[in-house]
Amino acid sequence: MATFFGEVVVAASRAGVDDEESAEEAREETPEDREIRRELEKKREIDVLWTLKSGASTESSADELFVCSKFIVAVGHNAAAFLSSFILDSVCWEVVGVVKLWNEWCRTSNTTTVLPTDSFCLFYRLISDPTVLLCQCSCYVAEDQQFQWLEKVFGCMQKEGLQVTILSTCPVADYKTQESTLTLPSPFLKALKTDEFKEQVCCPLLEQPNIVRDLPAA
């Protein structure tokens, strides 16, 4: 038990206990249970569908990689609404793909004709420069689906020279600072970057111990 906030405490290992519990659960699993589990795993698989000029959709293929120079991803309703209001509100963009997924909080479909209130994940391409792609991800991507989302979406793009920008939001109450959150301007913008990003950052960097979560973190 910690004696003060921030103390590092070494917890007792449960590795052996967890192995025993997993083995016991495996022994108790019936063929019907295994079939149900396989069906659920199959249902939770993510499909990335790219819309062709003919209007048809096709699943992504590793043999057909997009040449992409900039990829902007907006995760969450607020970030997706920002893209809709300030970037996509023109005829300069065309829908080129959609992500289909299913989980406890999300039911998406193959269609790219959606309402702003729907849960969806759409890809747009800049008509004047097809190497610039945007993604509006308003749907919830579960923890066990995040790696699969990344693998299938980025598996469609050439990685050389690719710059990825991710937009996301969180409540001010989650922001950790020595200042009072009541005196902070709202909303405000902070950034994280990798060592490979050599350009000027447009806003102050996010301070420790703040972190990002979920799909943006992945």
> Residue 94 belongs to what domain range?
44-52+64-167
118 found inside a domain: yes
213/32 Cα distance (integer angstroms): 35
Q: 179-201 pLDDT, tens per residue?
A: 877 788 878 889 998 888 888 88
Across-strand partners of 99?
Answer: 48
120 found inside a domain: yes
8/11 Cα distance (integer angstroms): 10
CATH number at residue 90: 3.40.50.10900
155 found inside a domain: yes
3-class DSSP assignment, residue 184: coil
Cβ(76)–Cβ(170) under 8 Å? no
136 found inside a domain: yes
Supply the pLDDT for residue 32: 77
- Alpha-helix residue ranges (DSSP H) falling in the chain: 15-28, 31-43, 77-86, 143-154, 214-217
28 found inside a domain: no
Total tally of structural domains belonging to the chain = 1
Q: 93-105 pLDDT, tens per residue?
A: 998 888 888 887 8
206 found inside a domain: no
| Start-to-end C-alpha separation, the chain | 31
197/61 Cα distance (integer angstroms): 29
123/130 Cα distance (integer angstroms): 12
188 found inside a domain: no
- Full-model pTM: 0.73
181 found inside a domain: no
